[in-house]
């Protein structure tokens, strides 16, 4: 199983996140820290999430992306843009209800050369579990299908 990375850049207030490979729970702490960084930036004007090189993405990461969209709407009133060219990834986004909280496009955009890989962050099991729980609660809030799909997982996480 290949590992994934998340790359990051900022250009004139537009923040770009590029997900490469298999993006999983192990990257959630770095992604969450970057989300905080984005929304504390005084020049924030938009977000582009490039999934054109994403092979798979887990539900925790999807939940954090939904969080990013919610915060973007609160801060600027704008929906982030997601770029996806892979039918499987596009279907996954559609099944999660992401068309309600993102502008989803299938045209790759010029990606800056200045993308840098997010540094890994070691977090305690408790912190990671809290992020997983938060991410899945956010997904559940998007639609009834997600509520059904993640209800049991959330109940298990809440008990431990």
d(CA 80, CA 130): 24
Domains of the chain: 5-122 (3.30.750.24)
Virtual CA dihedral for 151, 139, 3, 131, nearest 10 degrees?
A: -80
The pTM is what? 0.85
> Over its length of 160 residues, how does the chain's per-residue pLDDT go in tens digits?
458 999 999 888 889 999 999 998 888 888 888 998 898 888 888 999 999 999 999 999 999 999 999 999 998 898 999 999 999 999 999 999 999 999 999 987 766 666 777 777 777 888 888 889 999 999 999 999 999 999 999 999 898 8
What per-residue confidence (pLDDT) applies to 1? 43
* Centroid of chain to Cα 117: 15
Q: Can you read off the two tokens belonging to residue 57?
A: 């993405």
With a CB cutoff of 8 Å and minimum separation 6, the contacts of 26 are 3, 120
- Exposed/middle/buried for 70, CB within 10 Å: 0-12, 13-18, 19+? middle
| pLDDT for the residue numbered 70 | 93
pLDDT recorded at residue 98: 95
Helix-then-strand count for the chain, H and E = 5, 6
**Could you tell me whether strands 5-11 and 14-23 are parallel, antiparallel, or unpaired per DSSP bridges?**
antiparallel
Per-residue pLDDT, 111: 65
């Amino acid at each position: 199983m290949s590992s994934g990375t998340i790359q990051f850049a900022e250009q004139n207030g537009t923040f770009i996140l590029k997900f490469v490979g298999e993006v999983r729970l192990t990257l959630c702490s770095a992604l969450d820290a970057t989300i905080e960084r984005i929304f504390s930036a005084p020049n924030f004007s938009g977000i582009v999430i490039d999934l054109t090189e994403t092979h798979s993405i887990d539900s925790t990461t999807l939940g954090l992306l939904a969080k990013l969209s919610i915060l973007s709407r609160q801060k600027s009133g704008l929906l982030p843009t997601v770029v996806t060219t892979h039918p499987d990834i596009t279907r996954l986004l559609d099944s999660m209800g992401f068309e309600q909280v993102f502008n989803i496009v299938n045209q790759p955009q010029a990606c800056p050369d200045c993308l840098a890989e997010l540094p890994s962050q070691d977090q305690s099991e408790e912190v990671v579990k809290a992020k997983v729980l938060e991410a899945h609660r956010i997904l559940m809030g998007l639609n009834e299908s997600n509520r059904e799909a993640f209800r049991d997982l959330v109940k298990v996480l809440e008990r431990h």
